[in-house]
Amino acid sequence: MTTRTASEPTGPAPLLDLQVLVVAVRRRRRLWSSVALVGMLLGGASAVLLPPPPTATTKLLVAHQEDQPNDPGTLIRTDAALLRTTRIADQALRALGSREKSEDFLEDYEAVGLTNNLLRIDVAGATEAEAVARARALADAFVADHVRRIRQAADAEAKALLDQRDRLRKDLAEVDRTIGEGSQDDGPKVSANRESLFARRAELTSQISDFGRRAAEARIGTPRLVSGTQIVDAPRLVRHSLPRTAATNAGIGLALGLALGLGVAAVGAVVADRPVLRREIAGHLGASVIAELPGRSPRWWRRRRVRAARTRLAASLARTVRGSSEPVSLLELGAARATIGIARDLAGELAADGPVAVLDGLPGQPLTRRGRRQEDLTVVGAGDASSVPHQQRRLGLGSVAPGTAWADLQHLGTRTVLVVRAGHGSAAWLHTVARHLADQRIAVVGVVLIDPDPGDRTDGTLWEGPQAAPREETDPPARRNGTGRRRTERLPMWAARVADDDQEGR
Integer angstrom CA distances of residue 200 from 174, 176, 197, 211? 11, 10, 5, 17
d(CA 284, CA 323): 27
Report pLDDT for 435. 92
Phi, psi of 57 (to 5 degrees): -135, 150
Residue 371, pLDDT > 60, answer no
| Rounded mean pLDDT, 15-24 | 76
Residue 452, pLDDT > 80, answer yes
Integer angstrom CA distances of residue 373 from 357, 369, 370, 378? 9, 11, 9, 5
* DSSP string across 218-241: HHHHHHHHHHH-EEEEEEEEPP--
Question: 3-class secondary structure for 155-176?
Answer: HHHHHHHHHHHHHHHHHHHHHH
Are 342 and 310 in contact, with CB atoms under 8 Å apart?
Answer: yes
Are 424 and 452 in contact, with CB atoms under 8 Å apart?
Answer: no
Report pLDDT for 5. 42
Determine which helix (DSSP H) or strand (DSSP E) holds 359, and give its type and residue range.
strand 356-360
| Rounded mean pLDDT, 256-274 | 88
Residue 370, pLDDT > 90, answer no
Q: What is the mean pLDDT of the chain?
A: 79
| Rounded mean pLDDT, 324-331 | 86
Neighbours of 344 (CB within 10 A): 17
Report pLDDT for 487. 40
Short-list 460, 500, 287, 317, CA closest to 395: 317
Are 8 and 465 in contact, with CB atoms under 8 Å apart?
Answer: yes
**Strongest mean pLDDT among 104-113, 349-358, 382-391, 401-410:** 104-113
DSSP 391: T
Least confident of 16-25, 131-140, 256-265, 315-324: 16-25
Are 58 and 233 in contact, with CB atoms under 8 Å apart?
Answer: yes
Residue 470, pLDDT > 80, answer no
Least confident of 324-328, 442-446, 461-465: 461-465
Are 60 and 121 in contact, with CB atoms under 8 Å apart?
Answer: yes
d(CA 5, CA 455): 29
Integer angstrom CA distances of residue 491 from 7, 72, 87, 288, 494? 10, 74, 83, 12, 8
| Rounded mean pLDDT, 247-275 | 90
The C-alpha torsion from 257 through 258 and 262 to 263, rounded to 10°, is -40
- pLDDT digit string, tens, across residues 77-136: 999 999 999 999 999 999 999 889 999 999 999 999 998 889 999 999 989 999 999 999
Report pLDDT for 306. 81
d(CA 64, CA 13): 67
DSSP 308: H
Alpha helices in 16-73 (DSSP H): 18-27, 29-49
∠ CA 137-142-145, rounded to 5°: 125
Are 359 and 382 in contact, with CB atoms under 8 Å apart?
Answer: yes
Give me the half-sphere count of Cα atoms (radius 13 Å) on the Cβ side of residue 101. Answer: 3
* CA-atom Rg of the chain in angstroms: 47
Residue 295, pLDDT > 80, answer no
Does residue 377 or residue 81 have the better pLDDT?
81
Phi, psi of 274 (to 5 degrees): -110, 110
119: Cβ contacts below 8 Å, ≥ 6 apart = 59, 60, 61, 62, 76, 79, 80, 83, 111, 112, 113, 142
Residues 56-67: b if buried by 16+ CB within 10 A, e if exposed: bbbbbebbbeee
Are 333 and 370 in contact, with CB atoms under 8 Å apart?
Answer: no
DSSP β-ladder status, 393-399 and 328-333? parallel
Residue 477, pLDDT > 50, answer no
Report pLDDT for 318. 87
Neighbours of 98 (CB within 10 A): 15
Confidence class for position 503, pLDDT limits 50, 70, 90: very low
Its pTM surpasses 0.75: no
Residue 210 burial by Cβ neighbours in a 10 Å radius (0-12, 13-18, 19+):
middle
DSSP 415: E
Confidence class for position 386, pLDDT limits 50, 70, 90: low
Residue 341, pLDDT > 60, answer yes
Short-list 333, 344, 448, CA closest to 395: 344
Report pLDDT for 492. 43
- pLDDT digit string, tens, across residues 401-427: 888 888 888 888 889 999 999 888 888
- pLDDT digit string, tens, across residues 196-253: 878 888 888 888 888 788 777 776 767 778 888 899 999 999 888 888 889 999 999 9
Least confident of 23-27, 62-66, 182-186, 349-353: 182-186
